[in-house]
Amino acid sequence: MMRIEKLLLSTVLFVMSTYSMQAQSMKVEYLGDAAQQKGMHVWGSSPIKGEDGKIHLYAAQWPTATQPDFNGWYKDCEIGHYVSDRPEGPFEYVGVAVKDKDGLFNSPHNPTISHIDGQYQLCFIVNENDDLKTQRIVMYVADNLDDTWRPAKGGEPDGTILRQAKDSTVWNYTARLGVSNPSLIKYNGKYLLYHKSVVRKEPKGYVYSYGVVVADAVEGPYIHQPTRVTEEAMPLEDAYAFTMKDSVYMISRDFRASLGNSGGGLLWKSGDGFSFPAEKTERAYEDLQHYVGEAYLKEAVSYRGKKDGHLERAQILFIDEKPAYLYLATGVQTKPGYGSSSHVFKISFE
Alpha-carbon distance 48 to 145, whole Å? 10
pLDDT for residue 209 is more than 60: yes
Q: Which residues contact 51 (CB under 8 A, 6 or more apart)?
A: 144, 145
- Domains of the chain (ranges; CATH) run 27-349 (2.115.10.20)
Q: What is the structure's pLDDT at 25?
A: 84
Q: How confident is the prediction for the chain on average, in pLDDT?
A: 92
The answer to whether residues 251 and 268 touch, using CB atoms and an 8 Å cutoff, is yes
**pLDDT value for 24:** 58
Cα dihedral sign for 327, 333, 338, 339?
positive
Q: Round to whole Å and give the CA distance between 14 and 303.
A: 47
Going by C-alpha positions, the residue among 83, 125, 129, 79 that lies closest to residue 103 is 129
pLDDT tens-place string over residues 61-115: 999 987 667 999 999 999 999 999 999 999 999 999 999 999 999 999 999 999 9
DSSP 43: E
Which pLDDT score, from 0 to 100, does residue 298 have? 95
Q: What is the largest CA-CA distance in the chain?
A: 77
Alpha-carbon span 177 to 158, nearest angstrom:
20
Q: Calculate mean pLDDT across residues 170-185.
A: 97
Residue 328 CB partners (closer than 8 Å, separation 6+) = 44, 265, 285, 311, 312, 313, 314, 315, 342, 343, 345
> Is residue 10 over pLDDT 60?
no
Residue 16 has pLDDT above 90, yes or no: no
Q: How many CA atoms lie within 13 A of 2 on its CB side?
A: 0
- Tell me: pLDDT of 9 over 80: no
The 10s digit of each residue's pLDDT in 254-267 is 999 999 999 999 99
Asked if residue 44 lies in contact with residue 315, where contact means CB atoms within 8 angstroms, the answer is yes
Inform me whether the pLDDT recorded for 150 exceeds 60. Answer: yes
Q: Give this prediction's pTM.
A: 0.92
Structural contact between residues 339 and 303, judged by C-beta atoms closer than 8 angstroms: yes
Q: What is the rounded distance in angstroms from the CA atom of residue 259 to the CA atom of residue 100?
A: 37
Q: What is the C-alpha to C-alpha distance for residues 18 and 317, in angstroms, rounded to an integer?
A: 27
181 closest CA partner among 228, 136, 223, 151: 136
Is the Cβ–Cβ distance between 82 and 102 less than 8 Å?
no
